[in-house]
Structure formats: C-alpha cells, structure tokens
Amino acid sequence: MEGSSGAIFAQGKQSIKIPVPVYIRASASVVGTKEGEGPLGDLFDVVGVDDKFGCDTWEEAESTLQKEALQMAIGKAGLSREDIRFLFAGDLLGQCIASSFGLGGFGIPLVGMYGACSTCGLSLSMATIMIAGGMAQYTACVTSSHFASAEKEFRFPLAYGNQRPLSASWTVTGSGAFVVSSSKSDSDRALITGITIGKIMDFGLKDSMNMGACMAPAAADTILTHLRDFRTKPEDYDKIITGDLGYVGQKALWDMLRDQNMDISHVHMDCGIEIYDRSQDAHAGGSGCGCSAVTLSAYILKQLEEGVWKRVLFVPTGALLSKTSYNEGQSVPGIAHAVELVSCVA
C-alpha cells in the first residue's frame, strides 16, 4: 500500500486491530433513582437520591452526571485532570450541551462527539486511536443521557403526561466515564484490542417510539462487518453486547443476522434489557448515551476484570433523529460502533 506514514493498521476497511496495548485503566458510573432500583443497582458507583442532582434544570442535572462521573474515573485511575491529554465526550441534547456545560471546568482539551446513543463506543474508539497512534498517554471519555432532558428534547415535556407505546424505550439517567491509557497498571479493567467504525444504516423506519427497530440494521451491519474483518465467529466472544436495542430491537437484530446465516442469540446481551427489570415499566428497555456507558462501567468491565468473561464485543447503537427531522417526516437512520474488549486476567 502506498503512503508515507508506513503501514496502515487495517483489518478490513472499517475495522482497526489496535497495534499496541491500550488499557481501560479506570471507569465510573453515576445514575438516577430508577437505574439504582434496577438489577444492576448495587454495581453503580453513585446512585442519586434525586434525579435533579441538586440542580435547577434537567439539563444542568445531566451536566452534573458527566462532571461527577469524569471526576470519579480520573480519581480511580490515580490521576489528576492535568494528566488527561484529550477528552472525548458527547450526549443526546441539541448542540451537546450536557457536555459543554458539564466539562468546561476540567480544562482538558475537548473533542466533541456525536453518535446519538452510540457515542460511548465512538468516543472510546477515538480515545483508543489517539493512544494507539502515539498521540497521548492518557485520554478520557464521558457520555450521558437523562430521561427528563431527553423526553423534552425528543418527544414531549414530562408534564404533558403522554402515553408511551410498548415499543418505546426509557432513556437512562446516567453517565459513564472511562480513562484510557497506553501503560499497564495493577488495576486495569480491560484491554481494547479492536474497533469497527459504523456506517449510517437507514431502512426507512420513521417511528421515534420504536428506536430499537430503527437501530437494529446498524447493529447487524457493524457486528457482521466486525466478525468478517477479524475473521471471528459469535462463539469466539463470551458476549456480543448491544447498547440499547431493547426487546423489540433485539428480536429484529437476531432475525436480520439469521437471514445472513448467523445466530448470535446464545451470546447476545443488550444493555437496555439488563438495566431495568420488566417490573419497572420501562417498556422496550433502556436507551440513551448513558445506557451502554454505565452498563459498561458497572457490569461489563467488572465481568472482564474478574475474568468471568475473556472477550466481548461492545456495540453501542445510535438512532440519528432530532425532533425537527421527525416532525418533517424523515426516517430514523441508525449507526453502531464496535469496540472489542479483552480481559487482563490471563
């Protein structure tokens, strides 16, 4: 291959096999009350007693989630904010204001990202590339969502009291933050060994109350691409974990992959299904940038850290809509980014 910068780290066109060890050194999760009452409740670092987190507005509350999660992750890594060379962050709100108002005080150079609910995977990918490319020793990622700010942003203000169909998902109130490092320590949570950057997939679905179905084609495409690029099979992973497809999207994903002669049902897990109990009335499951981020920090990395799982494929999925595009009758395209995580336990 031509090119003056030497070898291209390729693994198929969309994927990069990370050529040097990159570690998730530490992480933190901060969630709201409903998430605290769910099946993963005991695993989160902080469960708020009030979903406003002491703030005047839902947006400020979401900014506070990001601030607390990042502060805690940096602290757990044994670092200070000055040690983090670049910060990758995003959220679901218009113009990503949860990040802009949550992270200014850190004084860390900021790369703003947007991938809807896939942003956790996207920001981890870029943070990893910075380190693998020799551009940083420590980077950090933080993403968030908040049920109340998201309902206001995408659907109806809570006070309107609208009915939600069973296909609707419940936006997770939570933020997950991660410190990514080029150097090994005694307490690394996992290795990041490969990434696949997703393409926009649009099957023409238009229902913002059924985002699982809208995102399933993107999840299917990214999973198929990753497995093809890395020449792996579903059985090579302890888990293939989507971000927030929920019950409806999970079924669509399984069906689409079966059409391609692939069955992932025995290894598939969805963060949106794990985070709430069916008794919690969250309908199709959890969603939002925070859903996959807090589940990764609190549960998935714990399983890898303890060696219960050796290798997982983490595939957060995003629905690329706004209330403007929805009101103008546009479809809801999806995108999904995959990150391969490997346990540091031999």
Which residues in 115-174 contact a second copy (CB under 8 A)? 115-116, 119, 122, 125-126, 129-137, 152-153
Closer Cβ to a second copy, 40 or 321, answer by number:
321
Q: Which is nearer to a second copy, 52 or 302 (CB)?
A: 52
Identity of the residue, 182 or 317, whose beta carbon is nearer to a second copy in the bound complex: 182
Stretch that binds a second copy, among 169-177, 248-256, 273-281, 320-328 (CB under 8 A): 320-328
Tell me, residue by residue from 209 to 238, as one string, x for binding to a second copy by CB under 8 A and - for no binding: ------------------------------
Candidate residues 32, 121, 194, 198; the one interacting with a second copy per rule CB under 8 A: 198
Pairing of strands 286-287, 170-171: parallel
Residue from the set 305, 311, 322, 342 that interacts with a second copy by CB under 8 A? 322
Sign of CA dihedral 333, 258, 123, 211: positive
4: Cβ contacts below 8 Å, ≥ 6 apart: none
Q: How far is the CB of 15 from a second copy (least distance, A)?
A: 9
Q: How far is the CB of 323 from a second copy (least distance, A)?
A: 7
Neighbours of 161 (CB within 10 A): 7
Which conformational region is residue 261 in: left (phi greater than 0), alpha (psi within -120 to 50 degrees), or beta? Answer: left
Nearest approach, Cβ of residue 108 and a second copy (Å): 7
Q: For residues 55 and 61, give the distance between their C-alpha atoms in angstroms, rounded to a whole number.
A: 5
- The minimum distance between CB 74 and a second copy, in angstroms, equals 15
Q: How far is the CB of 200 from a second copy (least distance, A)?
A: 4
Residue among 10, 45, 17 at smallest CA distance from 31: 45
Residue 180's nearest CA partner among 116, 241, 144, 133 is 133
Nearest distance, CB of residue 316 and a second copy, angstroms: 13
Interaction with a second copy in 41-100: which residues (CB under 8 A)? 56-57, 59-60, 82, 85-86, 90, 92-97, 100
Among 158, 166, 200, 308, binds a second copy (CB under 8 A): 200
CB of 274 to a second copy, least distance (A): 25
User: Do the bridges between strand 239-242 and strand 268-270 make them parallel or antiparallel, or are there none, so unpaired?
Assistant: parallel
Decide: is 204 part of the binding site for a second copy (CB under 8 A). Answer: no
Residue closer to a second copy by CB (options 4, 279) is 4
Q: How far is CA 195 from the centre of its chain?
A: 13
Which residues lie closer than 8 Å to 225 by C-beta, 6 or more apart?
A: 12, 14, 15, 196, 198
The residue (of 20 and 308) whose beta carbon lies closer to a second copy is 20
Rounded to a whole number of angstroms, the minimum distance from the CB of residue 27 to a second copy is 20
- 110 binds a second copy per the rule CB under 8 A: yes
Angle at 13 between CA 7 and CA 16, to 5 degrees: 60
Residue 78 to residues 75, 82, 323, Cα–Cα distance (Å)? 5, 12, 41
Counting Cβ atoms within 10 Å, is residue 303 exposed (0-12), middle (13-18) or buried (19+)?
middle
Span interacting with a second copy, options 39-47, 70-78, 107-115, 247-255, rule CB under 8 A: 107-115
